[in-house]
Structure 1
Amino acid sequence: FDADRLAYTSEPLTSDVEITGHVVVHLNITSTREDGNFFAYLEAVKPDGVSCYLTDGQLRALHRKVWADSPFSALGPQHSYLRRDAEPLIPGEAAILTFTLHPISARVPAGYRLRVCLAGSDKTTFANVPVDGEPPILQLHRGPAGCYIDLPIIEP
């Protein structure tokens, strides 16, 4: 699964970590198309290299506008998915996509690593976006203003 996706794996954890709540993904991207699907997966990787699924989430770029007045904004960035709030990507211009993964509560033991996998499609579950023409060529920006995740860590 991970071999077909862009994956970032942490160093081994030095102590147990409890992740409880909504993981928030922040992607700073540039695309050659006006729309696209973005998928993120969070995994725990055992010391022997076996990965264990923790949670996932997805966002269609067209729906990236954060719904500031959502009654659920305490749970992380929300999106209305309304036509009036649609924001097509501008090819060649950077855009920020912020979305939550499904909520979790998991204790990841010391010695494990955390892995984030990113993908632009999930053909077993979702249709490709856009459905016509060439698939988008994506650039994920790195550095201080680049891509990152917020983990809801519960301190012991």
Structure 2
Amino acid sequence: MPTLSITGMYDDSSGGTLRNWRRFAANAPADVVASSHLVVGPWDHMGTHFGPGQVGELVFGPDATVDLPALRRDWLRHVLDGAPLPEFLRDRVMLYVAGSEHWVGAPSLEAATTGSADRWLRSVAGPMDVLHSGFVDDIAVDGPTATFTCDPHDLRTARLELLPRPAGSGPESPFHGQPMNSFVATQAGNDPTSSRFVLEIDGQGLVYTSTPLTEDLVVVGHPELHLHLVCDQPDVDLSVLVHEITPDGASIFLTSDLLRLSCRHLDGSHDWLVPGESTAIGFRGFKWCQRRVRAGSRLRVAVRHASSIQMNAYPHGRPADAPVARVQVLHDAARAPRLVLPLGDG
């Protein structure tokens, strides 16, 4: 049976949708795949039902608004009754490239990514927060080792999440009475204009910012981040957040990854860190991104402790005492953190 799969760049379930689509495309009969379609809009999870033109305070162009109930109805009539294929589904995969504010088609999800660009993270002496940021560079250079802490007993992030926000200042949820500061929602992309958990990183992570881009950068696909670190505990939970910072200072979510380092191989195995030894870490589970980052904007990357009132405090592999973990990210040129940005058309 053909399928019509619909997700969004800011959908917290996009990872599962895209994984299932890839498995379906790889294993279903060719004629069934040829009759199936994937739509990746700019929406969050609620938006995948109705196709609105806004997520939280981030407003898209008019083409982002799609009558998804009508699209589903017309597609079912096509599949079941032989009615014409909806004009919108002109290609196997349809992607809304935010920033360009239009739809592009591709014969497959893999074909939407046409190249890649590497950027290296450069450290500076000091706290490496937003006001003392490291850099996102085009080349790898030597820099000092950068250190931050992950404390399961540190309640600063929890207190931030409990601060009330005025109505209309963030994504509305049917499960909460008012918009929340939520690390999990920020990580998932549901709150795409909030950078609170980067701005208030305060020793719990590292921030890197590029100079203004000299030309547009069309990011389409799953980014990766490769780095070397030393941790004094056998495990730790880390988050990576990537934002576009526009010329007027606004922050727009691009992608994120969340990784328990003992699970870094992404194959179901557990491989504990050896405390005090350098370990190569690959963040290879980033959310799918499809956005044109305009010239004049900057890229901001934050690597931080993953902590939230919506997550169980993790004791770093030592539940008896749940110690503070100290993480050192190495920045010599040979082991400088490398951000891989997938590129596409749009």
TM-score normalised to structure 2 length: 0.39
- Segments of structure 1 that go 5 or more residues without pairing to the other structure are 66-78
Counterpart for residue 198 of structure 2: 2
Measure, in 2, the Cα distance between the counterparts of 1:115 and 1:144: 22
Measure, in 1, the Cα distance between the counterparts of 2:339 and 2:226: 6
What amino acid does structure 2 have at the position aligned with 1:57? D
C-alpha distance after superposition, 1:32-69 (max 9, x if no partner): 1000011101100011222111111111111123xxxx
Counterpart for residue 145 of structure 1: 335
Measure, in 1, the Cα distance between the counterparts of 2:309 and 2:232: 24
Contact 2:222/2:289 (<8 A) preserved? yes
What amino acid does structure 1 have at the position aligned with 2:311? F
3-state SS, counterpart of residue 107 of structure 1: strand
More strand by share: 1
Measure, in 2, the Cα distance between the counterparts of 1:108 and 1:11: 13
- Segments of structure 2 that go 5 or more residues without pairing to the other structure are 1-196
Match of 2:324 among 112, 135, 141: 135
TM-score normalised to structure 1 length: 0.82
What amino acid does structure 2 have at the position aligned with 1:153? L
Contact 1:37/1:128 (<8 A) preserved? no
What does residue range 1-156 of structure 1 map to in structure 2 within 5 Å? 1-3=197-199, 4=201, 5-65=205-265, 79-81=266-268, 85-100=269-284, 101-129=286-314, 130=316, 132-142=321-331, 143-154=333-344
More helix by share: 2
Larger RCO, structures 1/2 (Cα 8 Å, 6+ apart): 1
RMSD over aligned CA atoms reads 1.6
Point out the more displaced range, 108-117 or 138-147. 138-147
What amino acid does structure 1 have at the position aligned with 2:272? P
3-state SS, counterpart of residue 151 of structure 1: strand
Measure, in 2, the Cα distance between the counterparts of 1:87 and 1:47: 42
Give the fraction of aligned pairs with identical amino acids, expressed as a percent: 29
Q: How far is the alpha carbon of 1:110 from its aligned partner?
A: 0.6
Contact 2:242/2:254 (<8 A) preserved? yes
